[in-house]
């Protein structure tokens, strides 16, 4: 075979390529690593690195540069960083830490870098969001006015939470803090709220338990779990809540309602303390770095109720903080108390006495949520708080008195039944109409005929009776959001009929 080589054709191709050449100058900002260890790398040389910029070492390890000093940059690798070599080079990427975001994240379990860890494959995403982004300003917000129902009577009636609010859940270890938060997620089923559960520094088994619970109850359909367990590098534990907030923001700015649980920022603060001390930042109170308040406030301030122009999406944040022996005046608890719009205080004494959820109503507050409570709840719940407060006072003083007058005895009996009414099993949230029916029954004395130990059983039966035999009651509350006369008549009939039934059964 003879190949015909035509020099003019070849030269025209070469000429075209030369004409089409666009010189591209790429400036790479490189430094060397004089020292690496304890999860920190000092980088010498790169100029113009941004605070929090991503840096990449020769072996492909990505790190974040939080510490900018005059002659070096302190960086923390996002993995264990064991393959970074002393004397190796590091490149500044020009990018601030960011994660991919998309609707496909719903139903998945991811790590602090938004990579899937549930073994269900890659998550498609076409957009990126910075892990840290500025909180919405005053003009982009509107005041909280819609309720976020937790499904727990004690909270929804007396410490109500509104969409866009930040409410702290605080208490000693093993007092049911996580249970309150997860019940709130379970209660969002069918309410069009995307939930993000951020687990920081927990045991992997606890996170697996929470995820299984969500899966069993169909809550994963609207939930994203971000998890960095206790054995993860401190950097990732520190970043996890910001990643969670970025995912929630993606939905909030798409006009959706979101709920984010940070479980818990005290462990994040400990990870941050570890990072800061290794970076040789000066230690402050309890050896935390001076800007630990700022790190929590810029995280929680991102929760908001968006203005009308921005589409009225919302991000409700429920951070959880663990106290030691009920001490709320420690550094991190006081910080987070002052950042949030109120706190739900869980007490170990109540928990051990079998009052669960162990909410201490006396010292729990919600500063904005009452504006969001529906009218029907306001109508019945006002009396509940007052009666419980009077009961708490009487109970303390009745311990010393031997014979009490009839009125006091009655008030004590009422209080005991109301306290019983607030008890709720885990993973059994109640709808708002069920709560209204329950509270009305208690505050109007219909439970006084029963023994204290019968109350819980009776209320379960009553709620079932109302749902099946008086469905109009629920319809009225849902549609008008008011406890109308008609609703009251229906409820009174239901109480009368189911009490008769209950007493017959108990005989």
Ligand X SMILES: Nc1ncnc2c1ncn2[C@@H]1O[C@H](COP(=O)(O)OP(=O)(O)OP(=O)(O)O)[C@@H](O)[C@H]1O
Catalytic residue set:
367
Is residue 426 part of an annotated ligand binding site? no
Whether 109 and 116 have beta carbons less than 8 Å apart is answered as yes
Angle at CA 91, nearest 5°, toward 87 and 93?
160
Task: Identify which of residues 426 and 469 has a Cβ nearer to ligand X in the complex.
Answer: 426
Pick the stretch among 72-80, 419-427, 460-468, 478-486 that binds ligand X (CB under 6 A).
419-427
Is position 424 annotated in a ligand binding site?
no
Say which residues have a Cβ less than 8 Å from residue 342's Cβ, sequence separation at least 6: 159, 165, 167, 168, 364, 365, 366, 367, 368, 369
Q: How far apart are CA 267 and CA 237, in angstroms?
A: 8
Residue 112 or 207: which CB sits closer to ligand X?
207
- How does 198-228 read in b/e, with b if 16+ C-beta sit within 10 Å? bbbbbeeeebeebbebbeeeebbebbbbbbb
Compute φ and ψ for 289, nearest 5 degrees. -70, 160
Tokens coding 502: 């209950």
- 160, 301 contact by CB (below 8 A): no
Total residues contacting ligand X (rule CB under 6 A)? 14
Q: Is 171 annotated as a binding residue?
A: yes
Check residue 257 for interaction with ligand X (CB under 6 A).
no
Verify binding: residue 150, ligand X, rule CB under 6 A: no
Distances (CA, A) of 81 to 40, 86, 177, 272: 8, 12, 34, 17
Interaction pattern, residues 157-196, with ligand X; x per rule: CB under 6 A:
--------------x-xxxxxxx-----------------
Could you say whether residue 151 binds ligand X (CB under 6 A)?
no
Q: Should residue 424 be labelled a site residue for ligand X when binding is judged by CB under 6 A? A: yes
Does residue 262 bind ligand X (CB under 6 A)?
no
Is 357 among the residues that bind ligand X (CB under 6 A)?
Answer: yes
The stretch near ligand X (CB under 6 A) out of 117-125, 287-295, 423-431, 432-440 is: 423-431
Angle at alpha carbon of residue 270, lines to 264 and 274, rounded to 5°: 150
Distance between CA 476 and CA 469 in Å, rounded?
Answer: 14
Interface residues for ligand X in 283-342 (CB under 6 A)?
A: 322
Site mask for ligand X (CB under 6 A), range 70-109, x = bound: ----------------------------------------
- 408 marked as part of a ligand binding site: no
66 binds ligand X (CB under 6 A): no
Show the 3-state SS of 65-124: EEEECCCCEEEEECCCCCCCCCCCEEEEEEEECEEEECHHHCCCEECCCCCECCCCCCCC
- A 10 A CB-CB count for 106 gives 17
Nearer to ligand X, 425 or 472 (CB): 425
174 is in an annotated binding site: yes
Cβ 502 to ligand X shortest distance, Å: 23
**Token duo for residue 209:** 């338990």
Decide: 408 and 394 in contact? Cβ < 8 Å. yes
Which residue, 177 or 296, is less far from ligand X as judged by CB?
177
Binds ligand X by CB under 6 A, chosen from 83, 425, 472, 486: 425
177 a known binding residue?
A: yes
**Closest to ligand X by CB, 425 or 486:** 425
Minimal distance in Å, beta carbon 63 to ligand X? 30
User: Residues comprising the binding site for ATP?
Assistant: 171-178
- Point out which residues bind ligand X (CB under 6 A): 171, 173-179, 322, 356-357, 424-426
């Amino acid at each position: 075979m003879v190949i015909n080589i035509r020099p003019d054709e070849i030269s025209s191709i070469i000429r075209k390529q030369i004409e089409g050449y666009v010189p591209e100058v790429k400036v790479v900002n490189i430094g060397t690593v004089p020292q690496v260890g304890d999860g920190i790398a000092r980088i010498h040389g790169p100029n113009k690195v941004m605070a929090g910029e991503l840096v990449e070492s020769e072996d492909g390890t990505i790190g974040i540069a939080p510490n900018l000093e005059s002659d070096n940059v302190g960086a923390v690798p996002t993995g264990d960083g064991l393959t970074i070599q002393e004397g190796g080079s590091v490149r500044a990427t020009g990018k601030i830490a960011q994660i991919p975001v998309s609707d496909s994240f719903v139903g998945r379990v991811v790590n602090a870098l938004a990579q899937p860890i549930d073994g269900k494959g890659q998550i498609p995403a076409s957009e990126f969001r910075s892990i840290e982004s500025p909180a919405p300003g005053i003009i982009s917000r509107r005041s909280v006015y819609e309720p976020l129902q937790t499904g727990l009577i004690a909270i929804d009636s007396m410490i109500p939470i509104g969409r866009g609010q930040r409410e702290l859940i605080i208490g000693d270890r093993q007092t049911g803090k996580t249970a309150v938060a997860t019940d709130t997620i379970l209660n969002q089923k069918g309410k069009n709220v995307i939930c993000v559960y951020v687990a920081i520094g927990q045991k992997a088994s606890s996170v697996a338990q929470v995820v299984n619970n969500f899966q069993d109850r169909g809550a994963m359909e609207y939930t994203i779990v971000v998890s960095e367990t206790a054995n993860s590098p401190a950097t990732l534990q520190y970043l996890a809540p910001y990643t969670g907030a970025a995912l929630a923001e993606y939905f909030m700015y798409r006009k959706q309602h979101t709920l984010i649980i940070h479980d818990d920022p005290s462990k994040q603060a400990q990870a941050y303390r570890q990072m800061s001390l290794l970076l040789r930042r000066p230690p402050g109170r309890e050896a935390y770095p001076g800007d630990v308040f700022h790190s929590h406030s810029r995280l929680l301030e991102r929760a908001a109720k968006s203005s009308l122009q921005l589409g009225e999406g919302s991000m409700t944040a429920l951070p959880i903080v663990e106290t030691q022996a009920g001490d709320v005046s420690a550094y991190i608890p006081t910080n987070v108390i002052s950042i949030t719009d109120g706190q739900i205080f869980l007490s170990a004494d109540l928990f051990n006495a079998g009052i669960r959820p162990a909410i201490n109503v006396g010292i729990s507050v919600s500063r904005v949520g009452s504006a969001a409570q529906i009218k029907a709840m306001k109508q019945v719940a006002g009396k509940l708080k007052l009666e419980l407060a009077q009961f708490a006072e009487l109970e303390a003083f009745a311990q010393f008195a031997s014979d009490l007058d009839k009125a006091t005895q009655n008030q004590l009996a009422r209080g005991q039944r109301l306290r019983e009414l607030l008890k709720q099993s885990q993973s059994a949230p109640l709808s708002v109409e069920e709560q209204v029916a329950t509270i009305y029954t208690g505050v109007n004395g219909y439970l006084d005929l029963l023994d204290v130990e019968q109350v819980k059983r009776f209320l379960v039966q009553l709620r079932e009776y109302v749902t099946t035999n008086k469905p109009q009651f629920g319809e009225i509350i849902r549609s008008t959001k008011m406890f109308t006369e008609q609703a009251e008549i229906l409820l009174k009939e239901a109480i009368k009929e189911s009490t008769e039934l209950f007493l017959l059964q108990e005989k």
